Amino acid sequence: MRVVAGVHKGRQLKAVPGNTTRPTTDKVKEAIFQILGPLFEHGMVLDLYAGSGSLGIEALSRGMEKGIFVDKHPKAIHTIYENVRTLKLDDKVEVFRTEAFRALNAASKRDLQFDLILLDPPYRKVNYGKLLDEIDKLQLLNKNGMIYCEHDTAEELPDDRDRFSIVKQDNYGGTIGVTIYKKE
């Protein structure tokens, strides 16, 4: 697993030990970031089910200014800290060990808004509709901000045209579904 593009291009990242996480492949990462924005000029990213932090680190490498990484598993938190230290991103990253909805509420209390929210939870363990509702209710996404959802291809994600429009919906490798929303 490596950083695909940007200032940290080619740098290796550690994966979370064990079988509890499923890292996004470099090929999928490259494809989705071509849609999300090959390069960012600024902005803030929330990596909500961060695992190793690979997706959030990719966004920072491509120009996001600050990232908040959240995971509830100790091994994931340890791995995120290792990857952040290796790439010397300590001043750009905050890491929290907590549950996703608690993290969303904490971000709201701090009046944070994000340009990119990355949702890559364990497949079939999360209700995306509830997550999108909470993100919208707490006004956590900036205008023109995007939400990346990685999911099992058998899962159907909400068609939330009232709040967000679907920018891209595709399958990668037969098992990985990707849905990208944008706030208009």
pLDDT, tens digit, 9 for 90 and up, residues 9-26: 999 999 998 776 667 778
pLDDT of 20: 65
Q: Is residue 170 predicted with pLDDT exceeding 80?
A: yes
Q: Is residue 50 predicted with pLDDT exceeding 70?
A: yes
pLDDT of 94: 97
pLDDT band at 39, cuts 50/70/90?
confident
**Domain count within the chain:** 1
**Quick one: tokens of 129?**
């509709």
pLDDT band at 161, cuts 50/70/90?
low
Comparing 3 with 161, which gets the higher pLDDT?
Answer: 3
Residue 80 lies in a domain: yes
pLDDT, tens digit, 9 for 90 and up, residues 62-76: 999 999 999 999 999
Report the CATH number that the domain containing residue 91 is assigned in CATH: 3.40.50.150
pLDDT band at 156, cuts 50/70/90?
confident
Residue 1 lies in a domain: no
Q: What is the mean pLDDT of residues 76-80?
A: 96
Sign of the alpha-carbon dihedral angle for 61, 66, 69, 75:
positive
Contacts of 53 (CB under 8 A, 6+ apart): 13, 47, 69, 79, 80, 83, 84, 93, 95
Q: Mean pLDDT of all residues in the chain?
A: 91
Q: What is the mean pLDDT of residues 145-164?
A: 84
Residue from 52, 44, 46, 150 nearest 106 by CA: 46
Residue 21 lies in a domain: no
Q: Is the pTM of this model over 0.85?
A: yes
* Cβ-contact 100, 70 below 8 angstroms: yes
Q: Is residue 136 predicted with pLDDT exceeding 80?
A: yes
Domain assignment of residue 74, given as a range: 26-183
